[in-house]
Amino acid sequence: MGTPDTMALVSADSRIAELLTELHQLIKQTQEERSRSEHNLVNIQKTHERMQTENKISPYYRTKLRGLYTTAKADAEAECNILRKALDKIAEIKSLLEERRIAAKIAGLYNDSEPPRKTMRRGVLMTLLQQSAMTLPLWIGKPGDKPPPLCGAIPASGDYVAKPGDKVAARVKAVDGDEQWILAEVVSYSHATNKYEVDDIDEEGKERHTLSRRRIIPLPQWKANPETDPEALFQKEQLVLALYPQTTCFYRALIHTPPQRPQDDYSVLFEDTSYADGYSPPLNVAQRYVVACKEPKKK
Identity at 227, one-letter amino acid code: E
Global pTM reads 0.78
What does residue 133 show for φ and ψ, rounded to 5 degrees?
Answer: -70, -40
Given a cut of 90, is residue 4 above it in pLDDT?
no
* Domain membership flag for residue 103: yes
* Domain membership flag for residue 198: no
Environment class of residue 222 by beta-carbon count within 10 Å: exposed (0-12), middle (13-18) or buried (19+)?
A: buried
- pLDDT interval class at 212 (50, 70, 90): very high
Collect all residues with Cβ–Cβ distance below 8 Å to 179 and sequence separation of at least 6. 171, 172, 173
* Domain membership flag for residue 19: yes
pLDDT at res. 115: 45
* Domain membership flag for residue 10: yes
- pLDDT interval class at 141 (50, 70, 90): confident
Q: What ranges in the chain are assigned the alpha helix state H?
A: 4-54, 59-107, 122-134
pLDDT tens column, 152-168: 999 999 899 999 999 99
Distance between CA atoms of residues 70 and 244, nearest Å: 50
pLDDT tens column, 271-294: 999 999 999 999 999 999 999 997
* Domain membership flag for residue 47: yes
- Which domain does 66 fall in, by range? 4-107
Q: Count structural domains, the chain.
A: 1
Work out the angle between the directed axes of helices 4-54 and 59-107 (0-180°, nearest 10): 160
* Domain membership flag for residue 254: no
Collect all residues with Cβ–Cβ distance below 8 Å to 180 and sequence separation of at least 6. 171, 172, 174, 249, 250
3-state secondary structure of 44: helix
What separation in angstroms does the CA of 39 have from each of 81, 183, 196?
Answer: 20, 50, 56
* Domain membership flag for residue 51: yes
pLDDT tens column, 179-203: 999 999 999 999 999 999 999 988 6
* Domain membership flag for residue 184: no
